[in-house]
Amino acid sequence: MVETRLIDGKAAAAALRARIAAAATEIKVRHGIVPGLAAVLVGDDPASDVYVRSKAKATREAGLASVEHRLPAATGEAELLRLVASLNADPAIDGILVQLPLPPQIEPQRVIEAIDPAKDVDGFHPQNVGRLWSGGTALVPCTPYGCLMLLRETLGGIAGAEAVVLGRSNIVGKPMAALLTAADATVTIAHSRTRDLPAECRRAEVLVAAVGRPEMVRGAWIAPGATVIDVGINRLPDGRLVGDVAYAEALAVAGAITPVPGGVGPMTIACLLENTLRAAEARRR
């Protein structure tokens, strides 16, 4: 049986958060500035509430300032856009995150495009998306950024590697493909309409699963020795948290794999702090 390496996202995230805290201290001492992150939550979706709380806690622990705006579920788009405009204009705010999904009366793309691209720590604004694909300096979406860091730590370089990204969302799949392309991998984006998903996945030396379907990727879909990054966090009816990859099956084949929980999840929040720090530095350059 293959010896599969577990990719410890918790440890990698702790190390990254410690580096961010040190950098935040230095900015404070040198410039008297505490970088600030504003998180906006509309409505009371329990999962979003958990995310926003843990983001705020990690922000404070890294020595950054955290501001939370909680608006009722019935909030209109115009009111949310007014809040975004005030955060854009607020010199104490370096990063703005509007938690998705938004209630149905609000068009998410209009909100994303209203955020100052220099404060867009989610990296969802078209200006950042365009810069990511065209090689400029961009704020990069946190989850794929964290995945790339884990891949670099696990494999060193990924130049020339066959990479398959399963999922084509704007939050994970598409920016992941952009980052892997920039890192010189050969990238395939596979999705629900792909003709033969198992065959596509089996070609992958690097497989990133981001479809939000519990344990969809079976052991037989994985090439022996492949590095598997599981972005999924799915709650089963029995309460268990599982990824998009059938973990026990994958362990028998993969060369390295991220566990769920404790893999990609902790890196996402650490990368949000990293983006906030980068945004704060860039705005004061």
Nearer residue to ligand GUN within complex by CB, 139 or 256: 139
Nearest approach in angstroms of CB 121 to ligand GUN is: 9
Nearer residue to ligand GUN within complex by CB, 27 or 98: 98
Nearer residue to ligand GUN within complex by CB, 253 or 277: 277
Nearest approach in angstroms of CB 214 to ligand GUN is: 17
Nearer residue to ligand GUN within complex by CB, 100 or 155: 100
Transcribe the chain into DSSP letters: ---PEE--HHHHHHHHHHHHHHHHHHHHHHH----EEEEEEES--HHHHHHHHHHHHHHHHTT-EEEEEEE-TT--HHHHHHHHHHHHH-TT--EEEE-SSPPTTS-HHHHHHHS-GGGBTT--SHHHHHHHHHTS-----HHHHHHHHHHHHHHS--TT-EEEEE---TTTHHHHHHHHHHTT-EEEEE-TT-TTHHHHHHT-SEEEE-S--TT-B-GGGS-TT-EEEE---EE-TTS-EE-SB-HHHHHTT-SEE--SSSSHHHHHHHHHHHHHHHHHHHHT-
Nearest approach in angstroms of CB 187 to ligand GUN is: 21
Nearest approach in angstroms of CB 29 to ligand GUN is: 31
Per annotation, catalytic residue among 8, 94, 120, 122: 122
Nearest approach in angstroms of CB 112 to ligand GUN is: 9
Per annotation, catalytic residue among 55, 94, 120, 174: 55
C-alpha span between 260 and 162 (Å, rounded): 24
* 55 catalytic residue (yes or no): yes
User: Is the bond into 261 cis (omega within 30 degrees of 0)?
Assistant: yes
Residues that bind ligand GUN (CB under 6 A): 97-100, 122, 142-143, 171
Nearer residue to ligand GUN within complex by CB, 171 or 222: 171
Residue, CB closest to ligand GUN: 100
* 8 catalytic residue (yes or no): no
* 99 catalytic residue (yes or no): yes
- Catalytic (active-site) positions: 55, 99, 122
